[in-house]
Structure 1
Amino acid sequence: MNFLYPGFLFALLAIAIPIVIHLFNFRKFKKVYFSNVQFLSAVKEQNSSREKLKHLLILLSRTLAIIFLVLAFARPFIPSSNQSINNASGSLVSIYIDNSYSMESLNKEGSLLEEAKRKAKEIVNSYSLTDQFRLVTNDFEGKHQQVVNKEELISMLDGIKISTAARSLQQVMNRIETDASANKNEATYLISDFQQTFVGKQPIKKNESIDYSFIKLNANSLPNISVDSVWSISPVHLPNQPEQFVVQLRNYSEEDASDIPLQLTINKQQKAISNVKIAAGKTLKDTLSFSGLKGGWQKATITIKDFPLTFDDQLNFSFKVAQDLNVLSISSNPSEKYIRSLFSADPYFKLTEMPESNIRYSAFEDYSLIVLNSLKEPSSGLAQQLKLYVENGGSVVVFPDLDVNAANFTSFLTSLSLPGVQQLNIGPAIASTIDLKHSIFNDVFEQVPQNIDLPVVNRYFSYAERNSSNKENILKLPLNRFLFARYNIGAGKIYLSASSLSDKDGNMALHPVFVPLMFKIAFASTKEQQLYYTTGKDNLLESERISLSGNQTLKLVSEDFEVIPEVRQTPGKTLLYVADQVKRAGFYDLKKADELLSVVAFNDDRLESDMHYANENEIKALFGKQNIAFYNSKKDALSMNVELKNKSSELWKLCLILAVVFLAIEIGLIRFFKLSKNI
């Protein structure tokens, strides 16, 4: 016999109390003078022996009552004969409960989550008192990784609720095996509906020292349509300008869906509506057009109506409508007109001009785009500041002065990690070619003619290319030379031209392609925030570089929730680590003190939207020759051979009953054991 709480056995010292009471509770007899001593002696002997017997029986009853009461608190049990002698410390049992959105589905037993809890309790109750348990859910919470006893685990099971986190089977097994104990016999039970998206299609590896048992709950396949994703067609978001967003819907059922209402709201105002039809098992893209947005951050929501599953019927996203875009032009020629005329034509662009002789380096970070036009003597200090600006995410366009000192200009270019000048080419006008597949020209041309008119040059630099891995040609010249190219450097970009904007060098500044080229470069220089993130999956958020003093912090704030992320500064951006703190879909304001920096949108993972389930053969095929046990939810703990292997006989109830019985005997002896008198 073993004890679950052997420390309570020290309370057996309490049996000394009734013994002491018995020893010091002698009854004093009063002397009675009687004429015949013979009769007095007979009465005395008879009463003394009966009273001594009564006291001994009471002492025995009290002692046994205390002993069995102490034993009841020590929780005695008789281990099963099948338990190994070397396994006296018990087994470690891990139980995974799938609490994803799909477990909200109903079957004949109620919700799948409640059925999973009942199955888990059956398994727990079939193990012995020396066994230890660990609970795992999709939340991957630290408290669920603690080793607990039977009663504590059952209490934890009652507190499990549906979670927004979606995991894969391999992730769950990796989590369990991370805390595997080498000193215990470990068994693991995974209780789930085993969606196909949860199981996956890749082979799964497991720890051979752990016995896995898969318990599949019987779930019904349900029709479901989800708002899958959204993206913007508009290159930039301007106040009171037309906007276009593409939304993708997915039909996971085997039947066509028709008359699905689709609605777009921005800042709680309806902006676009549609009615769509989606074929079975297909996706549909629908373009939503609207206008009339004001400047600032926009909180947008796309909503459909679909039953019975509704968790994926809404998609949140956020974006910023900028009031303006700051452009800096640095030139050695005060009469320069092309850059000024280009960006002054649209009020969205706020152009600032600086002469080459008076450049304020500290103001560079205030501009999204810097244009260098025909600099006569570019300095090393300018090159150093521009390189820092580009590595932090800025964009620079360089139009050279072809009459500049080649050696000086080469030194400036190499300081920016650009190729140096090889030679100046002068000759007849040469026509360029255009890379229409480049991202700069996306949505620029509705139709491209066969004999397209392109810029021509009669003077241009050829550059000594050393490493072209970060180079993208936009406008090309013969002999594998470029007229205009982009170099990706750090987090930013530098656009280098082979010719100047002067009329004597070519017609690039006067050509119609110059306007969309420069505008698309300016639009691309803005740092767009990601439209939305996924709860439980995206733990790293990216933002424009945020300057913080020593005692300042950032926080994500929703209506009744606040997160303080870990902040890391990288070139060109600020990274925010939120770990697993964001568990609910919605909008979160990124604030520095009371200043609103941006709005971040979160959505639930669409991994749970596909309500198709893997069968036993599909699951076993992923494990290959690895041994696993697979059970249907209709089978109980006895059918899984858990009861016979692990059940121990508990004796605490018997001890408690015996303690009450001996207390009753004591009371009976005191009240009904009468000492007869011999007269």
Structure 2
Amino acid sequence: MNFLYPGFLFALLSVAIPVIIHLFNFRRFKKVYFSNVRLLKEVEQQNSSKEKLKNLLILLSRILAIIFLVLAFAQPYIPLSEQKNKFVNNAISIYVDNSYSMEAINKDGNLLDEAKRRAKELIKGFGINDRFQLLTNNFEGKHQRLVNVDEFLKALEDVKISPANRNLQQILNRQGNVLTGSANKYSFIISDFQKNIATGKKLETKSDIQYAFLKLNATTLPNVAVDSVWVLSPNHQPGANEKLVVQLKNYSDEEAKNIPLKLSINNQQKGLGSITIPAGKTRKDTLNFSGLKAGWQKGIITIKDFPVTFDDTLSFSFKVDKNLSVLSINGANAGNYIKALFAADNYYNLAENSESNINYSGFANFGLIVLNGLKNPSSGLAQQLKNYLNAGGAVVIFPDLDADIQAYNAFLNGLSLPSIQSLTKTETKVDQIDLQNPIFKTVFEEIPKNLDLPTVNRYFSFVENNSSNKENILALPGKKLFFAKYGVGNGTAYLSATGLNTVDGNLARHPVFVPLMYRLALNAGNETALYYHLGNDNALASKKINLGKNQTLKLTAKNFEAIPEIRQADGKTLIYVADQIKNAGFYNLYLADSLLAIYAFNNSRAESDMHYLSIAELDNLAGKSNLKIFDTDKDAVKLTAGANKIGQTLWKLCLILSLIFIAAEILLIRFFNNPKKTI
């Protein structure tokens, strides 16, 4: 048995008080002689031996009452382990949940304020020489050490609501990194235990750490959140019609009716709507807008939903390009079909390289690369295209059917594309077109019954061992490849079975060729993320940025400026912001005075579901003898008594026994061996 407050044991010296009173309260029986007993009006008959027993029992009751009262203040307990603590000092890690859900209100007020109060109560159960760690969702470096009580309390006052969120296993692992060395180790988790905090797996804990979960109870609130947004085309042209899909989610158990929805771009209202969402469901709405100018656009989707408001807005950004750059690498007999096609529209900026003079360094600047009738594509070209595709680019391959098949196969294998089996010289007509593919989905207003499709005089037949990443756009009879899409790295490769020369067929002169190539170009390019989430997304993607000597990038916003770390990978530049960005909004990326990109950051939607784990669910997650779970509404006394870091507390029993012995003293004085009165 151990004591939480052994200093109170000095009060056991007070046992001497009833002993001294007993020793100095001598009562001796003397014989008194009377000449006439009739002169005595009243005689008390006493038994001296019984009186002594009574006094001893009263003394014992007083002593035991004082002893158990002192023990109640010293708070004895039985440790969880049968053995006593091995070490004199204690190391305590206290996690205070400061996620958005802790803004909720219960009968005691704000949950975060209650969590702070509970943390202060916990440290009162430890000694002045013990050391403490304060942990929050921010996982800040300054919280990765043990401090004294005063430093802990000062850091606790500075804890504020944060957009970051962590799961239980991450929190326990972080605490385990600090709770090392020779000390008695205690881990406390103070949280509302929103369901997103669980990973669905059993928790992994350390056997030398005593764990306790302190569950704060909040009222479940209805909530509707802007879950996500996306555009239907990765390419944006000045003045073009755009379609934005908005997805809302209703996290409550009741239907959300007529939720108002607003779209603003560059502080101008571009769309309005309202939507009704059944309980626990998601619903999508499509907003149309147009009239954008070239440059970066800052959009905001807003709904009105109370009382939870942190997820009622979602910011996003995208760039409207003044033109789209296309590179055509031409063979000797390629023809002018690609040039004639893209030169007809000022939006497309066409550059041409000959097969013998290719500028590899400029690949990253193009949204689409067309290989038009290459006779002998090299392995070096394949490697450069592979890097371009890994960065998210798009490549279209129209082969030269007179080329060496073996040499072409080496090139195709370098791009993880099917190998050529043979050259087929039988005239064939394309018999399948995928009208649901994004390339053709909105091209035809009305589909004729007998759709005219291209004919081919000769074509390559391919060996396709793996078609899992293949999409047939146009196919020959027997579902043979004619024009298909393949995912390569982060990009897309389009492979044609025939070339564009008239001797190969009529594809280049067929009406389907124009929408095919234009839509390929519009769906090509590096599609960047519309937005990122605070606390989760620390790497921002960008087109390759070439920095000169002593040049650095700068990320800025209102009252914010940082120099991010950058890395070059697969033809892209990755920008690492670590945990520097803490507020939702728009952040501008500059190289000197040149604006390179605008990034939008939003609060994570992980906190939007205002449902909580029950004690039973937490018990199921824990499943450990060294992990205790407490409901702060029901177990508030245990929390202040320190029951969350020990096994069984005995102070209640001591207090009850003290009261029993006080009552016994009263009963002994009043009823034990009362003297009989005689006249």
TM-score range normalised by the length of the shorter chain? 0.7 to 0.9
After superposition, the C-alpha distances for 1:423-460 in whole angstroms (9 at most, x for unaligned) are 32212334343355655445455676675443221211
Distance 1:357 1:306 in 2: 62
Distance 1:277 1:304 in 2: 12
Partner of 2:264: 265
Partner of 1:112: 111
Residue 234 of structure 1 contacts residue 245 of structure 1 at CA under 8 Å; is this kept in 2? Answer: no
3-state SS of the aligned residue for 1:557?
strand
Residue 334 of structure 1 contacts residue 355 of structure 1 at CA under 8 Å; is this kept in 2? Answer: no
> 1:566 and 2:565 equivalent?
yes
After superposition, the C-alpha distances for 1:141-181 in whole angstroms (9 at most, x for unaligned) are 12122111222212221111111111222221221122221
Letter in 2 for 1:530: A
Residue 127 of structure 1 contacts residue 643 of structure 1 at CA under 8 Å; is this kept in 2? Answer: no
Partner of 1:12: none
Letter in 2 for 1:112: L
Partner of 2:338: 339
> 1:208 and 2:207 equivalent?
yes
Letter in 2 for 1:350: N
- In structure 2, the CA distance between the partners of 1:185 and 1:408, relative to structure 1 (3 Å rule), is closer
Distance 1:479 1:556 in 2: 54
3-state SS of the aligned residue for 1:103?
helix
Partner of 2:197: 198
Q: Which is worse superposed, 359-368 or 124-133?
A: 359-368
Letter in 1 for 2:131: Q
Partner of 1:67: none
Letter in 2 for 1:315: L
Distance 1:411 1:632 in 2: 67
Residue 191 of structure 1 contacts residue 215 of structure 1 at CA under 8 Å; is this kept in 2? Answer: yes
Residue 180 of structure 1 contacts residue 186 of structure 1 at CA under 8 Å; is this kept in 2? Answer: yes
Distance 2:278 2:362 in 1: 55
Shift of 1:346: 2.5
Partner of 2:185: 186
Partner of 2:138: 139
Letter in 1 for 2:287: L
Within 5 A, what are the aligned runs for 1:502-651?
502-624=501-623, 626-634=625-633, 635-636=635-636, 638=638, 641-642=641-642
Letter in 1 for 2:164: A
Partner of 1:129: 128
After superposition, the C-alpha distances for 1:69-92 in whole angstroms (9 at most, x for unaligned) are xxxxxxxxx999889997554111
TM (norm. structure 2) is 0.77
Shift of 1:532: 0.6
Partner of 2:324: 325
Partner of 1:307: 306
- In structure 2, the CA distance between the partners of 1:102 and 1:414, relative to structure 1 (3 Å rule), is closer
Distance 2:307 2:139 in 1: 28
Residue 87 of structure 2 contacts residue 184 of structure 2 at CA under 8 Å; is this kept in 1? Answer: no
Shift of 1:315: 0.5
Partner of 2:278: 279
Partner of 2:48: none
Shift of 1:332: 4.5
- In structure 2, the CA distance between the partners of 1:607 and 1:362, relative to structure 1 (3 Å rule), is closer
Distance 1:108 1:129 in 2: 32
Residue 126 of structure 1 contacts residue 637 of structure 1 at CA under 8 Å; is this kept in 2? Answer: no
Partner of 2:95: 96
Identity %: 52
Q: Which is worse superposed, 522-531 or 499-508?
A: 499-508
Residue 430 of structure 2 contacts residue 476 of structure 2 at CA under 8 Å; is this kept in 1? Answer: yes
Shift of 1:269: 1.1
- In structure 2, the CA distance between the partners of 1:495 and 1:175, relative to structure 1 (3 Å rule), is same
3-state SS of the aligned residue for 1:509?
helix
Residue 316 of structure 1 contacts residue 586 of structure 1 at CA under 8 Å; is this kept in 2? Answer: yes
- In structure 2, the CA distance between the partners of 1:142 and 1:496, relative to structure 1 (3 Å rule), is same
Q: Which is worse superposed, 303-312 or 86-95?
A: 86-95
- In structure 2, the CA distance between the partners of 1:411 and 1:536, relative to structure 1 (3 Å rule), is closer
Letter in 1 for 2:629: F
Residue 454 of structure 2 contacts residue 507 of structure 2 at CA under 8 Å; is this kept in 1? Answer: yes
Distance 2:168 2:140 in 1: 17
Structure 1 unpaired stretches of 5+: 1-77, 648-679
Distance 1:597 1:644 in 2: 53
3-state SS of the aligned residue for 1:607?
helix
Instruction: State the Cα RMSD in Å.
Output: 3.1
Distance 2:88 2:577 in 1: 39
Q: Which is worse superposed, 411-420 or 135-144?
A: 411-420
Letter in 2 for 1:325: L
Q: Which is worse superposed, 434-443 or 234-243?
A: 434-443
> 1:256 and 2:255 equivalent?
yes
- In structure 2, the CA distance between the partners of 1:279 and 1:413, relative to structure 1 (3 Å rule), is closer
Partner of 1:372: 371
Shift of 1:96: 1.0
Within 5 A, what are the aligned runs for 1:286-435?
286-332=285-331, 336-356=335-355, 359-376=358-375, 386=385, 389-390=388-389, 392-406=391-405, 409=408, 413=412, 418=417, 421-435=420-434
Partner of 1:222: 221
- In structure 2, the CA distance between the partners of 1:397 and 1:637, relative to structure 1 (3 Å rule), is same
Letter in 1 for 2:402: D
Q: Which is worse superposed, 368-377 or 79-88?
A: 79-88
3-state SS of the aligned residue for 1:427?
coil
Letter in 2 for 1:262: L
Distance 2:87 2:415 in 1: 70
Letter in 2 for 1:260: I
Distance 2:379 2:643 in 1: 80
Residue 146 of structure 2 contacts residue 178 of structure 2 at CA under 8 Å; is this kept in 1? Answer: no
Letter in 1 for 2:474: L
Within 5 A, what are the aligned runs for 1:150-161?
150-161=149-160
3-state SS of the aligned residue for 2:427?
strand
After superposition, the C-alpha distances for 1:247-276 in whole angstroms (9 at most, x for unaligned) are 111222222222322111111111111122
Letter in 1 for 2:342: F
Residue 122 of structure 1 contacts residue 636 of structure 1 at CA under 8 Å; is this kept in 2? Answer: no
After superposition, the C-alpha distances for 1:534-580 in whole angstroms (9 at most, x for unaligned) are 00111121111111234222222111112222211111211122121
Partner of 2:164: 165
Letter in 2 for 1:611: M
Within 5 A, what are the aligned runs for 1:27-46?
none
- In structure 2, the CA distance between the partners of 1:98 and 1:466, relative to structure 1 (3 Å rule), is closer
Letter in 1 for 2:283: L
Distance 1:645 1:263 in 2: 51
Partner of 2:667: none
Residue 95 of structure 2 contacts residue 190 of structure 2 at CA under 8 Å; is this kept in 1? Answer: yes
Distance 1:142 1:391 in 2: 35
Letter in 1 for 2:521: A
Partner of 2:22: none
- In structure 2, the CA distance between the partners of 1:364 and 1:154, relative to structure 1 (3 Å rule), is closer
Distance 2:642 2:519 in 1: 68
- In structure 2, the CA distance between the partners of 1:418 and 1:285, relative to structure 1 (3 Å rule), is closer
3-state SS of the aligned residue for 1:329?
strand
After superposition, the C-alpha distances for 1:379-411 in whole angstroms (9 at most, x for unaligned) are 676566555554554433222233345566556
Distance 1:188 1:122 in 2: 15
Shift of 1:488: 4.2
